[in-house]
Amino acid sequence: MHNLKSISKMLRSLHSSLKKTVNCEPTTVNSYFYYIFCCLFILLIFSVGQSFAENRHSVKWVDDGDTIVLMDGRRVRYIGINAPEIDHKGKKAEPFGYSAKNYNKNMVLSKKVRLEFDKEKHDQYGRLLAYVFLEDGTFVNKVMIGQGHAYCLYRGPNKRYNKKLLGAQRDAMTAKKGIWKNWKEEKNRYLGNKKSKRFHLETCTFGKRTGFKNRIFFSSKWDALWEGFAPCKRCIE
């Protein structure tokens, strides 16, 4: 509000100067347009700065490795990533679930963050869907993946940073960080859906619904994840 009053005062001053300029020197059209330009420029700077400030939010709580709660109570789900679950609703925590939560907590709790939205702003649970950035520009979604605390979770139409997130995941896989450390799995055959970017056991009922033109097969979970596919929660643990 203080900034708004200052801007209004400045614009009134410019307007007064403009009237004097036009009245005293009617032929100085350039001066007239110069002051108009100054007014518009100041308004632009103010509106951008105000928007920039309003998009800063303090983090009140960290639910887990991919969800936070803002000071105003709104929940924010990080776009494009999925972290291992912690125990909830009678379900046991998944491996690395609490290490992912703690890493996220150390990074964002009580900090101010900037939210960047994509085409779809809310999920089916009413949570905000956002790319989250710290004040120093740190891309939180990418860091969580890059440190091996989460994997890529494609969900259209929000795909602005898909390539960047997948690149971070491949770096983490190569370096065997977090969830990729000591990776072991039995060879199996998996059916991927090129449209949804999910992969299933070949015997999965949901996987079998994939249209033939969208089908792709993998011989390991690792290969599917490397290509940016996420596991079906119903058939793959």
Spell out the residues 6+ positions from residue 81 whose beta carbon is closer than 8 angstroms to its own.
66, 141, 144, 145, 150, 151, 152, 153, 165
127 is catalytic: yes
DSSP 119: S
**DSSP element (H, E) containing 210:** none
Q: Which of 12, 56, 85, 202 is catalytic?
A: 85
State the alpha helices, DSSP H only, in 147-210. Answer: 162-175, 205-208
Provide the Cα torsion 157, 160, 164, 168; round to 10°: -50
How big is the chain by its Cα radius of gyration, in Å? 25
Closest of 10, 35, 41, 9 to residue 22, by C-alpha:
35
Q: Which of 56, 94, 120, 127 is catalytic?
A: 127
How many helices, marked H, and strands, marked E, lie in the chain? 7, 11
Q: Which of 74, 77, 114, 215 is catalytic?
A: 77
Name the 3-class secondary structure at 116: strand
Token pair belonging to 117: 């939205």
56 is catalytic: no
Q: What are phi and psi of 40, to 5 degrees?
A: -65, -40
85 is catalytic: yes
Show which residues are catalytic.
Answer: 77, 85, 127
